[in-house]
């Protein structure tokens, strides 16, 4: 009897215990399946996914006529699932052999903590075909290796405008499709857009890939440039020919609209192909139009001549006497000028006379000369929307030596960039205004809706319109009867100035007689210029003078660019202005 009661008590305890367990299980199941259903459903879905951070479609870059200069094209990349593929697996070894992937990269990829990692980015069409055939084989189907959509930056014109466009690649943080040089770098935040993710669906064992869902949104903005692809091409061909013929070290040409500051062409040689930039020396990436400075030599003489005329210190009729300095125009008769071998201000520039240039600067004085140098834009960046621009070198008058004024008069003791000297001549060409040069004229969405339009920006008036007109006439005579004769373009009156600058030899403590920078900077038509063109050839081996190296280069470019722009050879100022309006 006692045994039976004891047994019943035990059975009751067990029953109550089982009942409590059952109630607990029901409660837990209710919590999981009802109360926390959404939480664990989301958890399960996340467990069945692999995420791969990628970037949206990068914006395009167009020339001023909407010709494509840079775009992103569809391609594919190879990825591996690190939980499934190992560096020693046979399928992975086959892929690495096919794509020539180094073993150290395979090991690094296998050690990645992320679920998916890239094996090789941006396959070529030939590589893609080979990989697709390999992955179609039966023993590769569950190998954890997949092809995923990707984009590749492509420059359809290869070397054209390479220093302007730049290129993309991995940045210092490992992010891909980032601008590394040129406009790609400077406007990277506009071009790249916002990051997206690929979502990869897997089964419970994480052995299969059902699909790829790509959400392409927030793509980058497009850029429309001031560059004209056809002018850029013309200049590149002419500059390359001169570079090779002269066996020069470097060479640069800039074509600018002096009335707006728009850059129509900017060319450096040697250049490179941004599609395969890693095959070229890094020094080729440098845009020397803005990131290289040199002593300008005689092209700089326009500064003190313009300043002296603008200040009323001299007029074009004033004459310089080798013994007595400057004489007013009414102090001698023309016969006495000839007898005394006097030179006019015009003659000083036409003949590129150094002593005369020094006398003009002496009349100005150090501070006024310095003020005009600064007003013309030297010693500070132009503000162009390109990376790497330097300011050149210009010391303040308190730092000058007793010969600095004379040295500056002939373009020494100062360094300038090709863009700065181009912009200074644009002041003479447009009537006395300094503009900010620019190279992007519009930022727009992928479907062509403008986001921002960049307008010409006047910085300041440097000289009067009358002074600019006088200087244009003087520089026309430089070409017609002076050192710039070889710059004369058929059918157009050209104005400009030659320069032959000796390079300073630091080790020797003086200027070299063999290492020279030759240049010609000018504009045409002279009466109302449509373009300013600067041609600068660094260390030519065959010729030694700006008039024999750079001036002929200017001529050939002008004779191609002006007809292309539909500028009649007999164009007058009022006709041109009417056409512009």
**SS in 3 state form for 190-255?**
HHCCCCEEEEEECCCCCCCCCCEEECCCCCCCEEEECCCHHHHHHHHHHHHHHHHHHCCCEEEEEE
CA distance 358 to 126: 65
For the packed helices 418-430 and 465-481, what is the interaxial angle rounded to 10 degrees?
110
CA distance 421 to 253: 11
Q: Provide the whole-model pTM.
A: 0.80
Domains defined for the chain, CATH in brackets: 50-80+88-225 (3.90.1310.10), 229-580 (3.40.710.10)
Q: Say what the pLDDT of residue 216 is.
A: 46
Q: Which residue has the tokens 């006495």?
A: 336
Q: Other C-beta atoms within 10 Å of 496: how many?
A: 35
CA dihedral in degrees (348, 353, 358, 361; nearest 10)?
30
Which H or E run contains 127?
A: helix 125-135
CA distance 437 to 425: 13
CA distance 430 to 451: 30
The counts of H helices and E strands in the chain are: 20, 22
CA distance 39 to 260: 61
Backbone angles phi, psi at 443, to 5 degrees: -115, 130
Q: Say what the pLDDT of residue 329 is.
A: 47
Q: Say what the pLDDT of residue 338 is.
A: 41
Token pair listed for 416: 């300038």
Name residues of the chain where pLDDT drops below 50: 203-216, 325, 327-340, 573-574, 577-578, 580-581
Q: Kindly report, residue by residue over 282-306, the tens digit of the pLDDT.
A: 889 999 999 999 999 999 999 999 9
Q: Give the residues across from 52 on adjacent strands.
A: 198
CA distance 219 to 216: 7
CA distance 59 to 253: 28
b/e 450-473 (16+ beta carbons within 10 angstroms → b): eeeebeeeebeebbeeebbbbbbe
Q: Which residue has the tokens 């030659």?
A: 498
Token pair listed for 47: 């467990």
Q: Say what the pLDDT of residue 297 is.
A: 95
Q: Say what the pLDDT of residue 207 is.
A: 41
């Amino acid at each position: 009897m006692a045994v039976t009661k004891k047994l019943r008590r035990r059975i009751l305890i067990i029953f109550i215990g089982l009942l409590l367990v059952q109630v607990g299980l029901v409660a837990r199941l209710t919590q999981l399946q009802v109360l926390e259903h959404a939480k664990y459903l989301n958890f399960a879905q996340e467990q069945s996914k692999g995420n791969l951070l990628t970037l949206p479609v990068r914006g395009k870059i167009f020339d001023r006529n909407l010709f494509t200069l840079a775009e992103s094209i569809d391609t594919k990349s190879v990825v591996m699932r690190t939980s499934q593929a190992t560096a020693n697996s046979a399928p992975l070894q086959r892929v690495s052999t096919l794509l020539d992937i180094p073993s150290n990269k395979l090991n690094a990829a296998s050690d990645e903590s992320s679920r998916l990692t890239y094996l090789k980015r941006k396959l070529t069409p030939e590589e893609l075909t080979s990989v697709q055939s390999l992955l179609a084989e039966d023993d590769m189907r569950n190998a954890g290796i997949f092809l995923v959509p990707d984009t590749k930056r492509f420059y359809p014109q290869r070397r054209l405008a390479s220093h302007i466009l730049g290129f993309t690649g991995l940045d210092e943080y490992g992010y891909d499709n980032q601008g590394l040089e040129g406009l790609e770098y400077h406007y990277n935040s506009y071009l790249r857009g916002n990051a997206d993710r690929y979502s990869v669906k897997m089964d419970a064992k994480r052995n299969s890939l059902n699909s790829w869902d790509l959400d392409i949104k927030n793509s980058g903005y497009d850029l429309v440039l001031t560059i004209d692809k056809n002018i850029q091409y013309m200049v590149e061909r002419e500059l390359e020919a001169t570079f090779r013929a002269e066996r020069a070290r470097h060479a640069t040409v800039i074509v600018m609209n002096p009335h707006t500051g728009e850059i129509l062409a900017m060319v450096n040689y040697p250049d490179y192909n941004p599609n395969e930039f890693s095959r070229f020396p890094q020094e080729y990436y440098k845009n020397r139009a803005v990131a290289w400075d040199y002593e300008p030599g005689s092209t700089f003489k326009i500064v003190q001549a313009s300043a002296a005329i603008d200040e009323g210190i001299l007029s074009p009729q004033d004459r310089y006497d080798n013994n007595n300095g400057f004489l007013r125009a009414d102090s001698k008769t023309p016969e006495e000028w000839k007898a005394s071998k006097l030179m006019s201000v015009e003659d000083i520039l036409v003949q590129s006379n150094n002593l005369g240039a020094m006398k003009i600067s002496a009349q100005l004085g150090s501070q006024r000369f310095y003020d005009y140098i600064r007003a013309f834009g030297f010693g500070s960046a132009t503000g162009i929307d390109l990376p790497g621009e330097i300011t050149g070198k210009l010391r303040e008058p308190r730092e000058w030596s007793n010969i600095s004024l004379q040295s500056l008069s002939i373009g020494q003791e100062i360094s300038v960039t090709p863009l700065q000297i181009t912009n200074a001549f644009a002041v003479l060409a447009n009537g006395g205004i300094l503009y900010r040069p620019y190279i992007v004229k519009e930022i727009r969405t992928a479907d062509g809706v403008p986001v921002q339009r960049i307008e010409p920006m006047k910085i300041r008036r440097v000289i009067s319109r009358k002074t600019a007109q006088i200087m244009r006439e003087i520089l026309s005579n430089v070409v017609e009867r002076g050192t710039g004769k070889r710059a004369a373009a058929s059918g157009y009156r050209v104005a400009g100035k030659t320069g032959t600058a000796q390079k300073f030899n630091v080790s020797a403590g003086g200027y070299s007689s063999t290492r020279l920078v030759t240049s010609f900077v000018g504009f045409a038509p002279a009466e109302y210029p449509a373009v300013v063109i600067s041609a600068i050839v660094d260390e030519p081996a065959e010729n030694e003078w700006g008039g024999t190296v750079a001036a002929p280069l200017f001529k050939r470019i002008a004779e191609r660019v002006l007809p292309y722009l539909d500028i009649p050879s007999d164009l007058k100022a009022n006709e041109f202005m009417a056409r512009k309006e």
